[in-house]
Structure 1
Amino acid sequence: MKSLRLLLLTASFVLGACQTFSITNQWRDPSWAGPPANHVVVVGISRSDTMRRIFEDTFSQHLQAAGVQATPSYTQIPPGGPGAVPLRDLVKGTGAEAVLVTRVQRVEQRINVTPSGPMYGGFYGWYGGAWASTPSVTQYDVVTLETSVWDARTEKLVWTVTTQGVGSSDIPRVTTQLAETLIPRLKSDGILQ
Structure 2
Amino acid sequence: MKLLRLPLIVMALVLGACSTVSITNQWRDPSWAGPPASSVVVVGISRSDVMRRIFEDTFAQQLQAAGVQASASYTQIPPGSGGSVRLHDLVKGSGAQAVLVTRVQRVEQKINVTPSGPYYGGFYGWYGGAWASTPDIQQYEVITLETSVWDARSEKLIWSVTTENVATNDIPKTSTQLAQTLIPKLKADGILR
**TM-score normalised by length of structure 1:** 0.88
Distance between the aligned counterparts of 2:78 and 2:127, measured in 1? 65
The amino acid across from 1:69 in the alignment is Q
1:5-84 mapped onto 2 (5 Å cutoff): 19-84=19-84
Partner of 1:111: 111
| Fraction of identical pairs, as percent | 78
SS at 1:169's partner residue?
Answer: coil
Query: Aligned pair in 2 of structure 1 residues 97, 111: CA closer, same or farther (>3 Å)?
Result: same
Please state how far the C-alpha of 1:87 moved relative to its aligned partner. 0.3
Please state how far the C-alpha of 1:128 moved relative to its aligned partner. 2.3
Distance between the aligned counterparts of 1:170 and 1:123, measured in 2? 46
Please state how far the C-alpha of 1:126 moved relative to its aligned partner. 1.4
Distance between the aligned counterparts of 2:119 and 2:87, measured in 1? 63
The amino acid across from 1:171 in the alignment is I
The amino acid across from 1:83 in the alignment is G
Partner of 1:87: 87
Query: Aligned pair in 2 of structure 1 residues 119, 128: CA closer, same or farther (>3 Å)?
Result: farther
SS at 2:144's partner residue?
Answer: strand
Shifted more, 80-89 versus 53-62: the winner is 80-89
2:163 aligned with 1:163: yes
The amino acid across from 2:144 in the alignment is T
Contact 1:54 1:171 survives alignment (8 Å): yes
Count of matched residue positions in the alignment of Structure 1 and Structure 2? 176
1:109-148 mapped onto 2 (5 Å cutoff): 109-148=109-148
Q: Unaligned 5+ residue runs, structure 1?
A: 1-17
The amino acid across from 1:65 in the alignment is A
Partner of 2:176: 176
Distance between the aligned counterparts of 1:110 and 1:77, measured in 2? 35
Distance between the aligned counterparts of 2:191 and 2:47, measured in 1? 28
- Summarize deviations over 1:79-125 as a string: whole Å, max 9, x none: 22411100000000000000000000001111111112223322332
**TM-score normalised by length of structure 2:** 0.88
* Aligned-residue CA RMSD (Å): 1.2
Distance between the aligned counterparts of 1:122 and 1:150, measured in 2? 64
